Structure 1
């Protein structure tokens, strides 16, 4: 039975859409065959989507030193329905931060700690002016998660 990786990423701009597409491209790498990849916007994602996945990759912009309102809405709707159900869920995060991303990271980490999900990698913070290298970094993150799921190490 295939494992399922859920990518929940806010993509309000061409650059952030490129990041979400890179995460999906990495997760769908041709050498990773045993993982189904589902990509959704936070506002389109519900508790049932998380219940059906084996790992989750979150993506957000830094908005006024906090996560995007869309990702916060996702957590608001999913927190209590998932609280007892998905403890230990492998998760990772990337943040597109115009500033330093610290407040955004802290906010997401606080919620993930409450859910008792399990970080499989340090959150990836893409700081400052846009760089094409951000795309490659997020693609590698998607590949890492999918390959880890397929190998059974996440």
Structure 2
């Protein structure tokens, strides 16, 4: 069985809705052979990365950067997993009050350093809350889980 790790920072009701949407998408009934582990960044660590076959990251845009919690996750995990998970399929969603560009650039830089592989462009959810944000994150997680199960990631 493959394992999908979701590491999502969810400090507000809306970001919890996004984390729950990711979890719901990854647990879609059509995806049967993927174990899903969902953790907040401050509770996830290198052992979780080493035990997964793909990772979905979720963060808020904080002062034009990723959340401090996600940065802490990367700080604790970077060297212990460096060169051990090369090519790890990954995806990202960003809840951005503005444009999310700095957040995306920061996460992409770390992911590039780790040698992980994007399965699709990062999803940036910009501006005021929109009802379709949840559906978009759910679809992202479903796509990642289904691709993992099918062996195409």
The runs of at least 4 consecutive aligned structure 1 residues that moved more than 2 Å come to none
Deviation at 1:71, TM superposition (A): 0.1
**DSSP 3-state at the match of 1:32:** coil
Which residue of structure 1 aligns with residue 12 of structure 2? 13
Q: Which whole-Å CA distance do the structure 2 matches of 1:6 and 1:129 have between them?
A: 28
The residue correspondences of 1:58-77 to structure 2 (distance < 5 A) are 58-77=57-76
Deviation at 1:10, TM superposition (A): 0.0
Please list every run of 5 or more consecutive structure 2 residues that lacks an aligned counterpart in the other structure: none
User: 1:125 — aligned with what?
Assistant: 124
Distance 2:25 2:94 in 1: 17
Deviations 1:78-114 (A, max 9, x none): 0000101001000000000000000000000000000
TM-score using structure 1 length: 0.99
Partner of 2:49: 50
Q: Deviations over 1:6-44 (max 9, x none)?
A: 000000000000000000000000010010000000000
Deviation string, structure 1 residues 34-63 (Cα, Å, up to 9, x no partner): 100000000000100000000000000000
Q: In 1, distance between residues paired with 2:145 and 2:10?
A: 21
TM-superposition CA deviations, 1:97-139 (whole Å, max 9, x none): 0000000000000000000000000000000000010000000
Measure, in 1, the Cα distance between the counterparts of 2:13 and 2:79: 33
Gaps of 5+ in 1: none
Q: What's the secondary structure of 1:107's corresponding residue?
A: helix
Partner Cα distance (1:89, 1:48) in 2: 14
TM value normalised by structure 2: 1.00
State the number of aligned residues: 153
**Partners of 1:113 and 1:146 in 2: CA distance:** 22
